[in-house]
Structure 1
Amino acid sequence: MAGLKIRSGDRVMVIRGNHKGQEGTVLRVEPDKNRVVIEGINRRKRHMKPSQTNPEGGIVEFEAPVHASNVMLIDPSSGEPTRVRRQVGENGKRERVAVRSGKVVPKH
């Protein structure tokens, strides 16, 4: 399986599902499951009973993972969603390139 083209810290847009059209920043990437966790997207509530780590218990709200195929990277130069291509740059290192604009996507 090829690696994910989305990294934590990237700005992405959801293109499928209940949160279609919403934007957020990637908090965590799970490459083995092909999923990403996005800030403010796909929020869930879990009822936790009291434990040593959480003595209060109660309702905990968290962001659930979204499948990576349902998000697109937002091109930093244009602000539009774009596909991502990998290519070798002038310095011989692999870099991510936005397909829409052809510009290099900077690392975070």
Structure 2
Amino acid sequence: MATMKIKKGDMVKVIAGKDKGKEGKVLSVKDGKVVVEGINQVTKHAKPSQANPQGGIIKKEAAIDISNVMYSLKGKATRIGFKIDGDKKVRVAKATGEVID
């Protein structure tokens, strides 16, 4: 699999789906899917357990495909490229040429 351009902790903007236009922080990235804070909320029916003694209906974020989000730089969605900076490979915002990390 190619190098992931979106990483945990990045701010992303949703570009497709029911939450289109919303922004949030990436909580996890796995197998081409991302979980974004406050995006794609689903309701789960939980049985009472040690961790959740009450049980009941809980809301949580579900994973969405990585192709439905774009990196957000100062509120604007931008594509990401890679550049060799000295001996390090760094991510670069295509819109501004700014080094991300």
**Fold shared per TM-score above 0.5:** yes
How far does the alpha carbon of each residue in 1:31-58 deviate from its partner, in whole angstroms, 9 at most, with x for none? Answer: xx20111000001110111123322111
| TM-score scaled by length of structure 1 | 0.87
Uncovered stretches (5+) of structure 1, i.e. residues with no partner: none
Q: Separation in 2 of the partners of 1:62 and 1:13? A: 19
* Structure showing the higher strand proportion among its residues: 2
The DSSP-based 3-state class of the residue aligned with 2:52 is coil
| Alignment match of 1:96 (pick from 69, 91, 94) | 91
Instruction: Tell me the C-alpha RMSD between the 2 structures.
Output: 1.1
Q: Structure 2 regions of 5+ residues with no counterpart?
A: none
Instruction: Give the corresponding residue for 2:81.
Output: 85
The normalised TM-score by structure 2 is 0.93
Tell me which stretches of 4 or more aligned residues in structure 1 moved more than 6 Å: none
Instruction: Give the corresponding residue for 2:66.
Output: 68
Amino acid at match of 1:17: G
